Chains A and B, each alone.
Chain A
Amino acid sequence: MILEVDKLQIHYRTRDGVARAVDGASFAVPEGRIVGLVGESGCGKTTAVRAIMGVLAENGRQAGGRVVFKGEPMDEATTRKLRWRDIAYVPQSAMSSLDPVYTVGSQLIEVLTKRGGFSRAAARTRSVELFDLVGLNERRLADYPHQFSGGMRQRAAIAIALALEPSLLLADEPVTALDVIVQRQILDVLRSLQQRLKLSMVLVTHDISVVAYLCDEVVVMYAGQVVESGPVREVLARPRHPYTMGLRNAFPDLLSDALELVPIAGSPPDLREPLSGCRFVPRCPFAQPACSLDAVMTGNGAHRSACHRDSEADTLRTAALDPRTWPRSSSFAMS
């Protein structure tokens, strides 16, 4: 395992109290693999990667748990040392994070010389290599960000993240704002990086199609906790947690025969409220009295889920395919 996240707790101070954005999440990234972190907005997936990268917002702090990178537990000092060198991060709005007044090439060279200790000449050679790696023409190094399309800016952001040859790349929604064709081109760039550089990756996304296309493993988060994880093929074909089943039903599929999408009624809980038991209960069609207790991850082998009715997963999965299983009401009161 190149990265292990163990019972991570991230708290944000807010005007209305402490929000437990990540509440005891554990997952691991095997060397050279791509792990997809999926869930709805506010489930803690972005906070988790920001915590790994050591770039939490000012009101956020790690309240518990630990992050182990290449066998070493990380603290503030090691995070600062490894950041950008061995762990790189492509933030959510990376496309707009390029500085408009400098050419893309000079921003890349700055990272290489200031952070990587490259000479200017070596940095220039390395920039050409990096542009080639992400499928950009080296002539475009002299261009300003506004001369780039969205897809090209995303490629440039990835090139900058890879400048110092990290072994782990954290990418937050790298294709979300892009058109499908460009999206596919970027996913193919990420796949070739995994293969050519043996890069390990954590890909944050809300899109299970992107996970299906690119990832080897998937970690499903809900309300700051991991509710299911395992190999992508296993989890998508035989989901064990009702939330994953619901996500799959809600997702459009260009090739499926079903012409109905089934929403998961309601919204995730307010993480500022004290919560106990399985967080998905208010939206779960299969909830029982036992679900008021905390659910722990169980399962033999790589595919694990945190559901009190895990032993009935096969039956629940069949029931979950029927749209009538899922409540349809959408009132204000449910939020």
Chain B
Amino acid sequence: MAALVELRDVVKHFPVTRTLGEIARGAHPAVHALDGVTFDVGDGDAVAIVGESGCGKTTLGRLMLKLVEPTGGAITFAGAPMAGLAGERLRDFRRQVQLVFQNPFDALNPRFTIYRAVVEPLINAGIDRAEHADRVASAFRRVHLADFDRYFDRYPHQLSGGQLQRVVMARALVLGPRFLVADEPVSMLDVSVRAGILALLREVRETMGLTAVYISHDLALVRYLCERTLVMYLGRIVEDAPTEEIVRRPRHPYTQALVAAVPVPDPDQSRQPLPIKGNVPDAREPPSGCSFRDRCPHAMARCAAETPALRAVAGGHHVACHLE
């Protein structure tokens, strides 16, 4: 299938406050949030982006929605370079893409009623007022808030977390988007309601033919949502494969550690020590070559000298590691 979103060598650096020494030396330190990211999201696909805090996954999501601009590289949406979008074409793009926030407790204006929260995107997009009530009602039906009309005049604090996340989703779906980015859509929710929201995400994607990117630190969860998973480490993609391959046959040493660290609800699980040590290095000074080498049990001289490129190793399985 054709790609809906294409990223080519995307780089995003955030400048940080300079110390006196750095000013004197003329240095411009920056957080390397993304350091050359290339991939496509196929039209109608669901892709997961997985990694630890600070790996750049949230920045990547924001770039795909044009909420921040890349420092280098190019992103296209439906064939059009995103950098050039302006005026009416930018407004059109904004109608086609939506973000589902991580924390439903913060995502809704506490002073807006539920109805107002969901009608807001229609007002902003200049949709004819006559259509508002119907479109809001249909968005609520999509997220299975059946008796919604009795609750339109409620405020966010009167709803539970699961209900709020459904309202957040109704708001994201009310304009009939083509592309959805969900950043940790269930991490703030209780286990018992998570399952319902995951099922709902899967269902609306299928019935509305949405293309979706799910950002998460939790491999166990994305398994229920996405057929393909990208694993990120310190601003780079280290592995890109079908989710089941990532889970069952991880090839990059970092992915192997990530998979080994995921707790499973089985008391008889193996308690092997983790294959890696230490913490994620400072993104202002990532190591030369492979950014994972200082934690990698297999690091060689070549890993410091040369950054491994993401290469195909098997059907649909790409790995950035010199061991391959």
Residues 246-261 of B, flagged 1 when their CB comes within 8 A of A and 0 if not, give: 0100000000011101
Contact, CB under 8 Å: B265 / A253? yes
CA distance A250 to B160 in the complex (A): 18
Contact, CB under 8 Å: B199 / A149? no
Contacts of B271 in A (CB 8 A): 213
Q: Knowing A181-B258, A236-B265, A252-B221 touch, does A151 contact B279 (C-beta < 8 A)?
A: yes
Contacts of A253 in B (CB 8 A): 220, 264-266
Contact, CB under 8 Å: B160 / A330? no
Q: Knowing A232-B267, A254-B262 touch, does A206 contact B191 (C-beta < 8 A)?
A: yes
Contact, CB under 8 Å: B146 / A331? yes
Partner of A261 from the list B166, B199, B269 (CB cut-off 8 Å) is B199
CA distance A209 to B196 in the complex (A): 19
Q: Knowing A254-B220, A259-B224 touch, does A247 contact B191 (C-beta < 8 A)?
A: yes
Q: Least Cβ distance of B291 to chain A in Å?
A: 15
Residue of A nearest to B221 (CB): A252
Contacts of B268 in A (CB 8 A): 233
Contact, CB under 8 Å: A267 / B160? yes
Partner of A330 from the list B196, B224, B266, B269 (CB cut-off 8 Å) is B196
Contact, CB under 8 Å: A210 / B263? yes
CA distance A255 to B264 in the complex (A): 7
Chain B, range 212-254, C-beta contacts under 8 Å to A: 217-221, 223-224, 247
Contacts of A2 in B (CB 8 A): none
CA distance A328 to B197 in the complex (A): 11
Chain B, range 121-144, C-beta contacts under 8 Å to A: 144
Q: Knowing A41-B190, A233-B267, A330-B162 touch, does A254 contact B219 (C-beta < 8 A)?
A: yes
Partner of A333 from the list B147, B162, B266, B280 (CB cut-off 8 Å) is B147
B17 close to A (CB within 8 Å): no
Contact, CB under 8 Å: B194 / A261? yes
Contact, CB under 8 Å: B265 / A250? no
Contacts of A183 in B (CB 8 A): 261, 263
B53 close to A (CB within 8 Å): yes
Residues 257-271 of A, flagged 1 when their CB comes within 8 A of B and 0 if not, give: 001111111010000
B14 close to A (CB within 8 Å): no
Residues 299-335 of A, flagged 1 when their CB comes within 8 A of B and 0 if not, give: 0000000000000000000000000000011111101
B63 close to A (CB within 8 Å): no
Chain A, range 185-238, C-beta contacts under 8 Å to B: 185, 187-188, 206-213, 232-233, 236-237
Give the contact-size bracket for chain B: 35 or more
Give the contact-size bracket for chain A: 35 or more
B193 close to A (CB within 8 Å): yes
Q: Least Cβ distance of A135 to chain B in Å?
A: 10
Q: Least Cβ distance of B283 to chain A in Å?
A: 12
Contacts of B150 in A (CB 8 A): 332-333
Partner of B52 from the list A181, A232, A237, A329 (CB cut-off 8 Å) is A181
Residue of A nearest to B274 (CB): A184
Contact, CB under 8 Å: A267 / B162? yes
A102 close to B (CB within 8 Å): no
B80 close to A (CB within 8 Å): no
Q: Least Cβ distance of B253 to chain A in Å?
A: 12
B145 close to A (CB within 8 Å): yes
A286 close to B (CB within 8 Å): no
A86 close to B (CB within 8 Å): no
Q: Least Cβ distance of A146 to chain B in Å?
A: 13
Contact, CB under 8 Å: A335 / B224? no
Q: Least Cβ distance of A190 to chain B in Å?
A: 13
Contacts of A335 in B (CB 8 A): 159-160, 163
Contacts of B262 in A (CB 8 A): 180, 209, 254
Residue of A nearest to B200 (CB): A330
B151 close to A (CB within 8 Å): yes
B31 close to A (CB within 8 Å): no
Contact, CB under 8 Å: B196 / A212? no
Contact, CB under 8 Å: B144 / A329? yes
Partner of B166 from the list A179, A210, A254, A330 (CB cut-off 8 Å) is A330
Residue of B nearest to A251 (CB): B265
Q: Least Cβ distance of B241 to chain A in Å?
A: 15
Contact, CB under 8 Å: B263 / A212? yes
Contacts of B257 in A (CB 8 A): 181
A285 close to B (CB within 8 Å): no
Q: Least Cβ distance of A96 to chain B in Å?
A: 15
Contact, CB under 8 Å: A332 / B264? no
Q: Least Cβ distance of A182 to chain B in Å?
A: 8
A246 close to B (CB within 8 Å): yes
Partner of A149 from the list B161, B196, B261, B279 (CB cut-off 8 Å) is B279
Contact, CB under 8 Å: A263 / B265? no
Known interface pairs A212-B265, A260-B224, A263-B195; 13 further A-B residue pairs with C-beta atoms within 8 A, sorted by A's residue number = A149-B279, A149-B280, A181-B257, A209-B265, A213-B271, A236-B266, A237-B267, A253-B220, A253-B266, A259-B224, A330-B146, A330-B196, A335-B163
Subset of 30 A-B contacts with CB under 8 Å: A179-B53, A179-B217, A180-B263, A181-B257, A184-B261, A184-B274, A187-B263, A188-B273, A208-B191, A210-B263, A212-B265, A213-B271, A233-B267, A249-B195, A250-B192, A252-B194, A252-B218, A252-B220, A253-B264, A254-B247, A255-B247, A262-B195, A263-B193, A264-B193, A265-B196, A267-B193, A330-B145, A330-B162, A331-B146, A332-B146
Listed from nearest, the 6 A-B pairs whose CB atoms lie closest are A261-B195, A209-B263, A263-B196, A263-B195, A252-B220, A264-B192
